Homo-oligomer: A and B are copies of this chain.
Amino acid sequence: MISTQCDCHVIHEEIVERVKKVMPEDENLYDLADFFKVFGDTTRIKILWALSESEMCVCDLAVLLNMTQSAISHQLRVLKQVGMVKNRKEGKIVFYSLDDEHIKGILDQGMIHINEK
């Protein structure tokens, strides 16, 4: 037992029990946090936003974001691992594009939200 620092949860027992029942499984909440974590980085946000507009190669993205190819490549790897982008090879050039039709919607909704605040 970690948290027995105070006793008011005994008084609020009904509330705590009720909330406990509607809480999703720990594993799902962990996955959910991991999902949002991907959007919690400016570089990845920019890459996703760019790709929502057009397929682009690594070099294009590096120029667009004014960053090194290496940094972009590392982040593309993260995005591919979580299934948000896919790629195709054309000679030496690797073109990346979105692999999830919900991405733009999520970005848009987030943007609407922060503009409301």
Residues of A within 8 A of B (CB): 1-3, 5-9, 12, 15-16, 18-20, 22-24, 28-42, 44-46, 49-50, 53-54, 56-57, 59-60, 62-64, 66-69, 83, 93, 102, 106-107, 109-111, 113-115, 117
Contacts and interface: CB of A to CB of B under 8 A. Distances in A.
Given A42-B29, A64-B16, A68-B2, A106 B109 contact: yes
Contacts of A64: 9, 16, 19-20, 23
Contact of A3 (B40, B67, B93): B67
A51 to B, nearest CB: 9
B29 A46 contact: yes
Shortest Cβ-Cβ A-B pairs, 8 listed: A37-B40, A36-B39, A3-B62, A6-B59, A9-B63, A40-B40, A33-B42, A36-B40
A1 to B, nearest CB: 8
> How many copies of this chain does one complex carry?
2
Given A40-B36, A56-B12, A63-B16, A114 B5 contact: no
B29 A45 contact: yes
